[in-house]
């Protein structure tokens, strides 16, 4: 399976470029036949906070960037409340290609694509991983993850602090979950402060109902 080179003489920027190029040509699963663009990721390649969703949607497939549709706009608002931006986080999905009709990613598709996420994680070396939604949490935290009861709880895997929140799409369908998500983002912000990833005195956006 082709992955990013581990040549230590390459700069981090070169490794990111190589991985992006490899992913852009990927034909490991059938999703490449229907995609418009590979959706690799966005944000700071030096970030220590990694947000991971499940798969691109229609707008993302068209633009080649994750979380730029309605759900993405809502995610932006939650990130702003916690002083997160593309300057201090990196955002991607487990799948880099859109499943037809935005159906759930199949296990074999996740298996084909997961090495790209592993390589992204290896390059970032994040302190915090935020799983956006049930599917990402089931893949990255534990297979029996229950998003309704376990969102906002911290887990440690491989030395990385991991947490899951409701997917922004779920919040569009059920706005009543927004209050819990605000509290979860507050917890993520507090953990980021512990790691000195954001400054305590930079907080400017009140955690109020969106």
Residue range 72-93: average pLDDT? 97
Q: Residue 7 class from Cβ within 10 Å (0-12 exposed, 13-18 middle, 19+ buried)?
A: exposed
User: Domain of 139?
Assistant: 12-199
- Look at residue 92 and tell me if it is in a domain: yes
- Look at residue 195 and tell me if it is in a domain: yes
Q: Looking at residue 1, what is its pLDDT?
A: 41
- Look at residue 48 and tell me if it is in a domain: yes
- Look at residue 6 and tell me if it is in a domain: no
Tell me the CATH number at 94: 3.40.470.10
- Per the structure, how many domains does the chain have? 1
Q: Which residues are within 8 A (CB) of 127 and not within 5 positions of it... i.e. 6 or more apart?
A: 48, 49, 160, 161, 192, 195, 197
For residue range 23-39, list pLDDT tens digits in order: 999 999 999 999 999 99
Q: Are 77 and 156 in contact (CB under 8 A)?
A: no
- Look at residue 117 and tell me if it is in a domain: yes
- Look at residue 2 and tell me if it is in a domain: no
- Look at residue 3 and tell me if it is in a domain: no
For residue range 111-160, list pLDDT tens digits in order: 999 999 999 999 999 999 999 999 999 999 999 999 999 999 999 999 99
- Look at residue 24 and tell me if it is in a domain: yes
Indicate if the alpha-carbon torsion angle 105, 110, 112, 118 is positive or negative.
positive
pTM: 0.92
- Residue 186: both structure tokens together: 């507050």
Percent of the chain at pLDDT > 70 equals 90
Q: In degrees rounded to 5, what are phi and psi of residue 157?
A: -135, 125
Cα separation, 122 vs 150, whole angstroms = 26
Q: Looking at residue 10, what is its pLDDT?
A: 82
For residue range 28-75, list pLDDT tens digits in order: 999 999 999 999 999 999 999 999 999 999 999 999 999 999 999 999
For residue range 163-206, list pLDDT tens digits in order: 999 999 999 999 999 999 999 999 999 999 999 998 765 544 55
């Amino acid at each position: 399976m082709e992955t990013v080179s581990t040549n230590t003489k390459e700069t981090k920027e070169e490794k990111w470029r190589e991985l992006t190029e490899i992913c852009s040509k990927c034909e490991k699963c059938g999703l490449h036949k229907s995609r418009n663009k590979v959706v690799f990721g966005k944000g700071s390649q030096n970030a220590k906070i990694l947000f991971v969703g499940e798969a691109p949607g229609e707008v993302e497939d068209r633009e080649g960037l994750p979380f730029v549709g309605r759900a993405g706009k809502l995610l932006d608002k939650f990130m702003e409340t916690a002083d997160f931006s593309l300057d201090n986080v990196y955002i991607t999905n487990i799948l880099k290609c859109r499943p037809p009709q935005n159906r759930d990613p199949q296990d074999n598709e996740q298996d084909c694509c997961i090495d790209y996420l592993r390589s992204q994680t290896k390059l970032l070396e994040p302190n915090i991983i935020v799983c956006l939604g049930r599917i990402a949490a089931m893949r990255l935290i534990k297979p029996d993850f229950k998003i309704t009861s376990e969102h906002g709880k911290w887990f440690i895997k491989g030395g990385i602090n991991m947490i899951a929140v409701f997917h922004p799409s779920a919040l569009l369908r059920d706005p009543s979950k927004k209050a819990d998500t605000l509290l979860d983002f507050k917890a993520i912000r507090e953990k980021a402060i512990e790691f000195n990833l954001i400054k305590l005195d930079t907080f400017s956006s009140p955690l109020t109902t969106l």
